[in-house]
Amino acid sequence: MIRLVPEWARHYEEFWAAIRKRNIWFIKLRYAAILALLVFIVISEYILDFSLTYFQVYSLLIIATAILVYNVILHLVKDRIKEIPGKFNVLHFSLLQILLDLLSLALIVYLTGGAVSPLYYLFIFHMIIGSLILPGKVVYTLAVSIIFYFLIFSLLEFYKYIPHQYLSGYIGTSIYDNFKYILISNFIFSFVILTSVYFANGIARQLYKLEQDLVESFDKLHKAEIEKQKYIMAVVHEIKSPLTVVITYLDIILSKMLGPLPEQIEERIDRAIIRVREAVGLINNVLRISKLRLLDEIVYEEYEIGQLVENVLSARKSNLESKRISTETIDQRKDKITLLGDKFLIEMVISNLLSNAIKYTSHDGNIKIALWIESGYTKLSISDDGIGIPKSDLEKMFGDFFRASNAKRDGFEGTGLGLSIVKQVVEKHHGTIVIDSPSDIGKEGKPGTQATISLPLKQESTDSKLKKHVE
Amino acid sequence: MALIAVIDDDLDIIDASSLVLKTHGFDVVTATNPDDGYRIIKEHKPDLIILDVIMNEPDDGFFLAQKLRKEGISIPIIMYTSVSKALGVQYDKGEMVPVDEFVEKPISPEQLLKKINDLLEAKGKEKK
């Protein structure tokens, strides 16, 4: 079977999708054409008084029925045609449709006057449609066949080998036996057909090529983005190594293995360790973002979100105590339900939200953590009565490096990387996150912020990303 | 006293680890590349190995660990890694990489000592 697939159609998917769409379009258009043919018969008979002979009327009706029959068949089988290049595929299906249509049209044109039929322009229309999908060779072959068909029929009629059919009520006496007319109409017809095919085919080709270039450029961009992320990971990772050495040395000094430390120095080294750990924390965040973007997948394991909340609270105990922030955890879930996801990343999300709450809550403030289940989702909200977030900033806050205007003004330290990761992690788990301000425990002058994450209770068990199941 | 081999291409990590270990009464042998590491392990038969995952190549440490296990050497291995989850490589205990403990850098001296003592204790019990 001829492959038909043009060599420039390198991106098969888009190409096939376009052909499929056109096939459906042809079928729909054909129903309209059948209707048009019937309307033509009625109008020519009763309104325009073309005085069709019985032979013409019955033949046209038979043709209309034949078109209807093959169109219904095409309609029924269209979904069974596959896109396998080597076999009968959707492209052959298009060619088949065009051939059937050309045959029907050839008969209609013959019945309505041949070279003097008002309908022979429709050949041009068919050839333009054909040019949009078929490769050049096939369309040109079709075009030349039509030109020959037209020439041969007009000559056969001219030499009276076959009876001439025409619309006597339309043109009175037909000029099918006028040689000059036959010559000129054939010449112009051939010229128009060939030039239409040439232009339409060229334009279609260009369009496909443009589309493919676009797809290729997009692929390249995507690859470049991945390369960039890999590069960032490598660089950031290189920065992390010396920092870990610094921490290790400072730890050793602080543990007094090398000898006693004056209190003043001990305090500063303690601070130094905190600050370097902060840097390592940031680096880890960047690495995690890159990983999320690079691999676009997470490892699934079972976890209990209440347990993660407890872990995070105990890890942040000293921060909470030093600011005398009181916390309250309200767990409204009836049972402890395990969720599926990357435990480490979810814990990071909770930790991130809690540390934001701590950071932006003043001394003696309050933080409320609530857990509940609502329409198939486990919900976790962390509310504080801190400085809150201005309304104008609420929408922008999930961007990389975003920090609320009042946070910058009030001199809070931070990089703004947190929420961007949090959102990505939650979304990778098919969940959502909403940040509100004021919060449900906000007060006058202390509006507070409330972060609510929703995580689906059930991941589809068929999830292809379900890689690992840890007991 | 227990002998511990530290294999890492970062001289400062070797220095810091040796310092911590020696202060706490361990004997230490060190190497800065997988080949020397293999040599000192064969030569000194340490009680525990601390191995960095990345040396010249990103998975040098793994290959050394695998090589040792293939030869039937069952000395406990603690693997230093600063990659783990961050690089998207999931290293699980026993899965592919036959090491006893993964430790993400930086690790505090106390934590390191605790891991070492736990592993040595477990090994001691096994022998009895």
Question: Which pLDDT tens digit goes with each residue over A277-311?
Answer: 888 877 877 777 777 766 665 667 788 999 999 98
Task: Give yes or no for residue A401 having a pLDDT over 60.
Answer: no
Distance CA A56, CA A62 (A): 10
pLDDT at residue B83 in the model: 54
A291 touches chain B (CB under 8 A): yes
A301-456: CATH, from 3.40.50.1980, 3.30.565.10, 3.30.70.260, 3.40.50.1000: 3.30.565.10
How does residue A465 score in pLDDT terms, banded at 50, 70 and 90?
very low
pLDDT at residue B30 in the model: 94
Beta carbons of A280 and B83 less than 8 Å apart: no
Q: Which of A142, A129, A139 is nearest to A22 (CA)?
A: A129
pLDDT at residue A65 in the model: 95
Distance CA A191, CA A187 (A): 6
Whether A438 and A368 have beta carbons less than 8 Å apart is answered as no
CA of A445 vs chain B CAs: smallest distance (Å): 40
pLDDT at residue A69 in the model: 95
Interface probe with A: pick from B55, B108, B110, B113, most Cβ of A within 10 Å: B108
Distance CA A186, CA A172 (A): 21
Distance CA B15, CA A73 (A): 82
CA of A403 vs chain B CAs: smallest distance (Å): 24
According to CATH, the topology of domain B3-127 is Rossmann fold (3.40.50)
Average pLDDT rounded to a whole number, residues A411-430: 70
Distance CA A147, CA A220 (A): 45
Least confident of A16-30, A168-182, A411-425: A411-425
pLDDT at residue A44 in the model: 86
3 state DSSP class of B5: strand
Task: Give yes or no for residue A186 having a pLDDT over 70.
Answer: yes
Residue A327 CA neighbour count, 13 Å, CB half: 23
pLDDT in tens, A366-390: 999 999 998 889 999 999 988 888 8
Which residues does residue A368 pair with via DSSP β-bridges, in sequence order? Answer: A328, A383
pLDDT at residue B4 in the model: 95
Which residues of chain B neighbour A287 with C-beta distances below 8 Å? 86-87
Q: Which residue has the higher pLDDT, A336 or A23?
A: A23
pLDDT at residue A295 in the model: 66
**Alpha-carbon radius of gyration of chain A:** 38
Q: With a cut of 50, which residues of chain B have pLDDT below it?
A: 84-95, 128
- Dihedral sign for Cα atoms in the order A20, A22, A24, A30: negative
Average pLDDT rounded to a whole number, residues A191-200: 92
Whether A387 and A407 have beta carbons less than 8 Å apart is answered as yes
Distance CA B52, CA B62 (A): 9
Which residues of chain B neighbour A233 with C-beta distances below 8 Å? 86-87
Average confidence score pLDDT of chain A: 83
Q: Which of A369, A355, A361, A380 is nearest to A327 (CA)?
A: A369
Task: Give yes or no for residue A415 having a pLDDT over 70.
Answer: no
Q: Which residue has the higher pLDDT, A261 or A408?
A: A261
Which residues of chain B neighbour A428 with C-beta distances below 8 Å? none
pLDDT in tens, A97-123: 989 999 999 999 888 888 888 888 888
The residue extents of the domains of chain A are 12-221, 301-456
pLDDT at residue A440 in the model: 87
pLDDT at residue A470 in the model: 34
Report DSSP state, residue B78. Answer: E
- Nearest CB among B13, B86, B90 relative to A248 is that of B13
Q: ipTM value of the model?
A: 0.78
